[in-house]
């Protein structure tokens, strides 16, 4: 069990550029989640996949955000036309369908300049 991995760990981009993050869940987990966390706040839910199906999306997930999990394994989160307000830690988590606890990856810290 290697845990949830995320890539890259850090990303600095200029406003208006597109960025894409990758998440590899724990291998036997079929549920995958994306959260966003800003300084001094708890993580905020963005979206959730059951296998390859995207089943929940938060109001926080604007049209500039898109997430995919094409084969039910790894997932990508793309942010188009980044804004300074997108600067945050983007966390991925996974869980099995036999338990409710979610296991988080190390996160991708995005800085938009």
As measured in angstroms, the least distance from the Cβ of 27 to another protein is 17
> Which residue from 91, 96, 98, 111 is in contact with another protein, where contact means CB under 8 A?
91
Is residue 28 involved in binding another protein (CB under 8 A)? no
As measured in angstroms, the least distance from the Cβ of 113 to another protein is 19
How many Å apart are CA 106 and CA 8, to the nearest integer? 10
CA 68 from centroid of its chain's CA atoms: 10
CB atoms within 10 A of CB 40: 5
As measured in angstroms, the least distance from the Cβ of 81 to another protein is 26
Binding interface with another protein (CB under 8 A): 4, 31, 33, 35, 40-45, 48, 55-56, 58, 91, 93, 95, 99-107, 109
């Amino acid at each position: 069990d290697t845990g949830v991995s995320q890539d890259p760990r850090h990303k600095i981009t200029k406003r208006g550029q597109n960025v894409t993050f990758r998440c590899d869940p724990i291998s036997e987990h079929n549920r995958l989640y994306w959260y966003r966390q800003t300084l001094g706040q708890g993580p905020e839910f963005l979206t959730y996949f059951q296998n390859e199906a995207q089943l929940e999306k938060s109001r926080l997930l604007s049209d500039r955000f898109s997430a995919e999990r094409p084969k039910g394994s790894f997932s990508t989160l793309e942010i188009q036309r980044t804004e300074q307000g997108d600067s945050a830690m983007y966390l991925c988590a996974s869980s099995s369908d036999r338990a409710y606890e979610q296991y988080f990856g190390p996160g991708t810290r995005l800085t938009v300049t």
